Amino acid sequence: MKKEPFVTKTQLDEIVKEYPTPFHLYDEKGIRENVKALKEAFAWNKGYKEYFAVKATPNPYILNILKEYGCGCDCSSYTELLMSESVGQVGENIMFSSNDTPAEEFALADKLGAIINLDDITHIDFLEKTIGKIPETISCRYNPGGLFKISNSIMDNPGDAKYGMTTEQIFEAFKILKSKGAKEFGIHAFLASNTVTNEYYPTLARTLFEVAVKLQKETGVHIKFINLSGGVGIPYKPDQEPNDIKVIGEGVRKVYEEVLVPAGMGDVAIYTELGRFMLGPYGCLVTKAIHEKHTHKEYIGVDACAANLMRPAMYGAYHHITVVGKENEPCDHTYDVTGSLCENNDKFAIDRQLPKIDMGDLLVIHDTGAHGFSMGYNYNGRLRSAEVLLKEDGGTQLIRRAETPMDYFATFDCFPVYEELKKNTEEADKLGK
């Protein structure tokens, strides 16, 4: 089986004339079609809302596209809150889900009117001291502990996760929050990551819905929403079947009608905060082969590195690679595809079967639309790449310029040497041109 890039060789040959490699490219058409499919899958729930996980693809142009379809923002930091505000997302269009949270982040979330999702029972007093009150609408993150298993393939270990409250704690938290003036409550949980199965959300939903019924009955609170969080994944490998969001939505609906409706809780809104599912397949890293090395193994060196896409180096994650223009040629060469960092794990692929790669060939590294650019860093002084939007009409738009050396040096301006660095950088730029 093959993965087809969403961009053709003809298109890429033109795009690279304007934007030098490496860069992340996003498919506007695919993003829009996907968010419409998600909304359709959960249209049965009157209060449904998707809070896009900003950490996955923190770009205001992307946030604005999703905003057109009624999506809110799931934020976990001060700067993510600021970015969401910058595109007009305020109030209950923001879900603030963080952990080990500094006071100033709670303060900003409150100022923006965001729904605050508390990670721990001790955060109740911390929040109250920080903002001087408990908001009327509040949410708590739940962690049932133990193992979370779906069929024979997906297992995660919530008991080892740093997130969320125990069953006993969330019951106590709801009682305390109610006594302090909270009127509308939410429940949130994230129990497995990147699941490629239609069973995950319905299984998680049953766990949360059953807890919600007990919570409302025993504490007397009104549960306004249940947030299924993220975890719905994408098929990184060509032989994986993608999730069917329509089937997933229908599965959640059945559990909703089995558990919540008979308990008189048919008014509960369902929220999601998907990131990878929303953007992952609709982004790719475009890079160029610049070196080949024949030693104990066959290496292809590209002009991107782990600073542009950390997942393979950090997790050993698989990202499919297409050698543009050679899609129909036999994959009869075995390569390690590497970047230039001074780390041996800076490899996009190890022992990967690919067509013969010639210097100057463009490579598309698939499925980088979520947790790709956003996990970038500046080790070895490497600079973050540009982000480019492939528009529905086939044109392109630069939605984040590439970093320059002056961006890297900008935080040194408290030192006298800064002006010399600036001068040297400007001269180096002239030479480069």
Confidence of residue 423 (pLDDT cuts 50, 70, 90): confident
Q: Is 267 helix (H, G, I), strand (E, B) or coil?
A: coil
Burial degree of 333 (CB within 10 A; 0-12, 13-18, 19+): middle
In sequence order, what are the residues at sequence separation of 6 or more whose Cβ sits closer than 8 angstroms to the Cβ of residue 149?
155
Number of neighbours of residue 269 by Cβ within 10 angstroms:
15
Checking DSSP bridges between strand 283-294 and strand 362-365, what pairing results, if any? Answer: antiparallel
Which of 75, 305, 331, 342 is an active site residue? 342
The pLDDT score that the predictor gives to residue 41 is 98
The pLDDT score that the predictor gives to residue 433 is 47
Residue 315 tokens read as 């997790």
CA angle 104, 370, 117 (to 5 degrees): 35
- Under DSSP, the state recorded for 385 is P
Query: Which residue from 20, 56, 35, 29 is spatially nearest to 373, judged by alpha carbons?
Result: 56
Q: Assess contact for 46 and 303: CB atoms under 8 A.
A: no
Rounded CA-CA distance 328/9 in Å is 13
Checking DSSP bridges between strand 222-227 and strand 269-272, what pairing results, if any? Answer: parallel
pLDDT at 363 over 60: yes
Kindly state the average pLDDT of the residues 181-190: 96
Query: Which residue from 274, 167, 177 is spatially nearest to 227, judged by alpha carbons?
Result: 274
Query: Which residue from 129, 221, 227, 142 is spatially nearest to 182, judged by alpha carbons?
Result: 221
Q: What is the 3-state secondary structure (H, E, C) of 93-121?
A: HEEEECCCCCHHHHHHHHHCCCEEEECCC
The average confidence (pLDDT) of the chain is 93
pLDDT at 367 over 50: yes
Q: Assess contact for 80 and 73: CB atoms under 8 A.
A: yes
pLDDT, tens digit, for every residue of 300-326?
Answer: 999 999 999 999 999 899 999 999 999
The pLDDT score that the predictor gives to residue 209 is 98
Which H/E stretch holds residue 270? strand 269-272
- For residue 238, what are the β-bridge partners? none
Looking at the chain, the whole-number percentage of residues with pLDDT higher than 70 is 92
Q: List own/partner pairs for 237-243 with CB under 8 A and 24 or more apart.
A: 237/318, 237/320, 238/1, 238/2, 238/3, 238/320, 239/1, 240/196, 241/196, 242/196, 243/195, 243/196, 243/197, 243/198, 243/277
The pLDDT score that the predictor gives to residue 145 is 72
Cis omega (within 30 of 0) for bond into 22 = yes
In sequence order, what are the residues at sequence separation of 6 or more whose Cβ sits closer than 8 angstroms to the Cβ of residue 290?
301, 302, 303, 359
pLDDT at 265 over 60: yes
Kindly state the average pLDDT of the residues 131-135: 98
Structural domains in the chain?
Answer: 27-280 (3.20.20.10), 282-410 (2.40.37.10)
Query: Which residue from 191, 269, 285 is spatially nearest to 232, judged by alpha carbons?
Result: 191
Kindly state the average pLDDT of the residues 87-97: 97
pLDDT at 140 over 90: yes
Q: Assess contact for 369 and 280: CB atoms under 8 A.
A: yes
pTM of this structure:
0.93
* CA dist 152 → 149, 199, 235, 308 (Å): 8, 11, 18, 34
Active site residue 305: no
pLDDT at 280 over 60: yes
Residue 428 backbone phi and psi in degrees, to 5: -65, -35
Buried (b) or exposed (e) across 301-318, using 16+ Cβ within 10 A? Answer: bbbbbbbbbbbbbeeeeb
Query: Which residue from 419, 320, 334, 396 is spatially nearest to 365, judged by alpha carbons?
Result: 320
